[in-house]
Structure 1
Amino acid sequence: MRSTQRDGVPDSVVGRAFALLSAFGQGDRTLSFAELSRRTGIGKATAHRLLHQMAEWNVVEVSADGVRIGMGLFELGLLASRPFDLREAATPFLADLYRATGETVHLAVAEGLDVVYVQKLEGRNGPSMSSRVGGRMPAYCTGVGKALLAHAPDERVHAVLRQDLPRRTPRTVVARGLLERELGRVRETGIAVEYEESMMGISCVASPITAGGGHVVAAVSITGRANRIDIPRLAPAVRTTALGISRSLDDRFDRNDRALIWPRDRWR
């Protein structure tokens, strides 16, 4: 939370409103006022007042069953040009990769010290995964995250390495020296690999996507069952897809003022 906080609760009205919205997690279609208050630490009366105000703008919907995210918030989300332009450029390449492999394909961008998935094509007969469009995962333990982190500014890499790195599975790389060496290999090869680090039974291979003179703006990956996915065979296909998307994005580059249509640094 970027706003000022007191005892973990944002002081500002805007901060509290965003805290309430951020309390919704994957699979949470409807939450009660009491549950939203519990998750955020915001008093019930304050939560009740803010949520009813947001309902007037259709940001949330309030009913006898509780509170759910409203269509107004979805419509605002569609105005976020960077993910939309990226998805538009990437869609045909992602579709080709999906058809060629039958595995789950992800497209992700950096946000803070995490990655956010902006597109997901569910693999045929693939494993169940917690990833979803709009969902977050830590950068250090995912293929797309490593592909992005390998090209992040030094201060952001150091910020990741300074924080506690929870061991999400027995195979999660949490030793900082090992992770640094792995990021170095990603920079050399253009390929990032995850072997059951974010979820047991799941492995993936990823590659960074560039735009505007080589600046890394996103990453693409293939994910499948760890005991079945052939990473050495699939890695060239993922790399080729990343290069194709990169060329497509370069074609959208504004050659008059040399400015990208999205911010250059999302590691903030």
Structure 2
Amino acid sequence: MVGKVVEDGIGVLDRMTLILEAFDQNDRGLGISELALRAGLPKSTVSRLVATLVKQRYLERDGKLIHLGLRLFELGQLAEEPRELRIAALPVLAELRDKTGENVHLAIRDGGAMVCIATLRGRAGGRPTIRTGSRLPVHATSLGKAVLAHSAPLDVEEILSSELRAWTSGTVTDPVRLRGELADVRRRDAASEVREYDPESSSAAAAVFAPSGRVAGAISVSCGADRFDLDRLTPAVRAAASAVARRLATTGPAWG
């Protein structure tokens, strides 16, 4: 819990992990006091471990502010499956962006969240509300619904039985209704949401499948809710997901 000192009984690696995970996507740098508060560790411990992490390039220091370091990005590029998926998808994402004029995204599921691993800004899309690295709720995004619809039943039930946050007044949080939506996603091979995660935008998405048949991630197109046209965007995003799946079949052992 944020603000509770939890140092006793945990090792150095655990404490370093608490510090690294204290950052979120909206941070522009954190001071030692804020890091200590979020990590639940004493300031003296955080100060000492930050110095080590800066030396190893996992963190960077800019005056009194601490930022995530380039070494984390470098290591992230070594994660084989997300990297191969991104490489396979980027040309298709560019084509989808050019065809629709809207913002396009690629994401993978990590437990109860979707992690965006690529975002391309469309000429008509405005500033994307989802950035590369963003963690998104599975139940309130078309990306999440597209993947969840094709996930293992136990995974689906674990997520639907958890506390589902209402991000906007339009967020669907009723598990029964969500199960019905997931069944519809499987029938249509596409998912959608209208003002569920962001009150100003809506999106359509389709799952990307690995050659083995398991779901690898999802592609979405998002735009302002006032011009959201499901009939226009669904065929485009569905075709893009199929194109990425075909490209994955030729990328190597990660997707065997």
Aligned to 1:132: 131
Secondary structure class of the residue paired with 2:227: coil
Aligned to 2:215: 216
**Counterpart amino acid of 2:211?**
G
Aligned to 2:93: 94
Distance 1:129 1:43 in 2: 37
Distance 1:157 1:131 in 2: 23
**Counterpart amino acid of 2:66?**
V
Aligned to 2:32: 33
Distance 1:238 1:52 in 2: 45
Give the direction of change, closer, same or farther, for the CA distance of 1:45–1:242 in structure 2 (3 Å limit).
Answer: same
Normalised by the length of structure 2, the TM-score is 0.93
Aligned to 1:229: 228
Secondary structure class of the residue paired with 2:131: coil
Distance 2:16 2:196 in 1: 34
- Cα deviation per residue 1:179-226 (whole Å; 9 max; x = unaligned)? 000001111211101111001021100000001232110100100011
Aligned to 2:64: 65
Give the direction of change, closer, same or farther, for the CA distance of 1:45–1:143 in structure 2 (3 Å limit).
Answer: same
Q: Does the CA contact (< 8 Å) of 2:121 and 2:127 recur in 1?
A: no
**% identical aligned pairs:** 38
Distance 1:157 1:36 in 2: 34
- Cα deviation per residue 1:56-112 (whole Å; 9 max; x = unaligned)? 211112343221122222211221222211111111111110111110000000101
Secondary structure class of the residue paired with 1:141: coil
Distance 2:252 2:58 in 1: 33
CA shift, 1:29, in A, is 2.7
CA shift, 1:145, in A, is 0.3
Normalised by the length of structure 1, the TM-score is 0.89
**Residues paired across the two proteins, number:** 254
Aligned to 1:245: 244
Secondary structure class of the residue paired with 2:167: coil
Aligned to 1:13: 12
Unaligned runs of 5+ in 2: none
Distance 1:180 1:173 in 2: 11
CA shift, 1:130, in A, is 3.2
Aligned to 2:255: 260
Unaligned runs of 5+ in 1: 2-6, 262-268
The reply on whether 1:159 has 2:154 as its aligned counterpart is no
Distance 1:61 1:83 in 2: 25
The answer to which of 106-115 and 55-64 deviates more is: 55-64
Q: Does the CA contact (< 8 Å) of 1:169 and 1:196 recur in 2?
A: yes
The reply on whether 1:52 has 2:51 as its aligned counterpart is yes
Distance 1:27 1:181 in 2: 33
Distance 1:194 1:130 in 2: 14
Distance 2:168 2:71 in 1: 38
Aligned to 1:174: 173
CA shift, 1:134, in A, is 1.2
Q: Does the CA contact (< 8 Å) of 1:98 and 1:104 recur in 2?
A: yes
CA RMSD, 1 decimal = 2.0
